[in-house]
Amino acid sequence: MLFYVLNYLYFYLKAGNQHAIHSPFVYKLYTLVVQSKKEYYAFSELEKLRQSLIADPRELEVTDFGAGSKYANNTNSNKKSISQIARRSAIPTKKARLLFNLVEYFKPKVILELGTSLGISTLFMALATDKSNTQIITFEGCQQIAKKAKQNFEQLDQKNIEIIIGNIDTTLPKNISSLPSLDFVFLDANHRYEPTIKYFNCILEKCHDNTLIILDDIHWSKGMKKAWQEIIKNEKITVSIDLFHFGLVFLRKEQPKQHFDLRF
């Protein structure tokens, strides 16, 4: 916790805003998308769903993968209420809105997500898409959580989401070759150094010049910070943006390699 707070203070002292950006691509992205205050009908619809999940006391049998479990409840019980899962694992509102805005701005055709949980982040992305033209593939390890996520997708009539169930350590390498080229990737599963690097390298082969990869909680632990620093050094990554809670990386060949620390 102390590590996280100190990191937060350090980041906010050094991070800039739009005045620190000299790249037109990043300036536009920051001012139009990251700083957007637009309200969409989908936001209230999804917050209603979140509230109904938070109010749901029913328990699910949970498979613990170790460190999606940054939000784990520190008990040995393998049962958790839907309420607990929604409160501890689902993406907070501010970040969820940014995911929506990013999808709305870039209009990806294929979205890949690692770490579905109850599907709140998946739905924020889904509701920003043109359904007839977009495919979303999301990975979750826990059978019962995935089942509840599917019900949430059905409740909101989202038919373009495919959920792949099982440990991502095996389901991702097994499925990667049959996946289409990826336009937009959100990594929010196992928040540890090794899996993050492994998953990143695996998806990289399906990425192209205009792919955006988003990593959640890059400052959450020493391991995540190390993974982030290694990823932004990767020769294929040109633009990297640290928003503290999210890390954004682009493979745009036309851009010189450049890093930005920006307030969000």
Ligand X SMILES: C[S@@+](CC[C@H](N)C(=O)[O-])C[C@H]1O[C@@H](n2cnc3c(N)ncnc32)[C@H](O)[C@@H]1O
CB of 78 to ligand X, least distance (A): 12
Q: Choose between 225 and 252: whose C-beta lies nearer to ligand X.
A: 225
Residue nearest to ligand X (CB): 141
Q: Which is nearer to ligand X, 29 or 118 (CB)?
A: 118
User: CB 254 → ligand X: shortest distance, Å?
Assistant: 31
Nearer to ligand X, 21 or 53 (CB): 53
Give the interface with ligand X as residue ranges (CB under 6 A).
65, 68, 89-91, 115, 117-118, 120-121, 139-142, 145, 167-169, 188-190
Q: Which is nearer to ligand X, 84 or 190 (CB)?
A: 190
Q: How far is the CB of 216 from ligand X (least distance, A)?
A: 7
Shortest Å distance, C-beta 64 to ligand X: 8
Residue closer to ligand X, measured from CB, 139 or 184: 139
Q: Convert the chain into a string of H (helix), E (strand) and C (coil).
A: CHHHHHHHHHHHHHCECHHHCCCHHHHHHHHHHHCCCCCCHHHHHHHHHHHHHHCCCCEEECCCCCCCHHHCCCCCCCEEEHHHHHHHHCCCHHHHHHHHHHHHHHCCCEEEEECCCCCHHHHHHHCCCCHHHCEEEEEECCHHHHHHHHHHHHHCCCCCEEEEECCHHHHHHHHHCCCCCEEEEEECCCCCHHHHHHHHHHHHCCEEEEEEEEEECCCCCHHHHHHHHHHHHCCCCCEEEECCCEEEEECCCCCCCEEEEECC
Q: How far is the CB of 121 from ligand X (least distance, A)?
A: 3
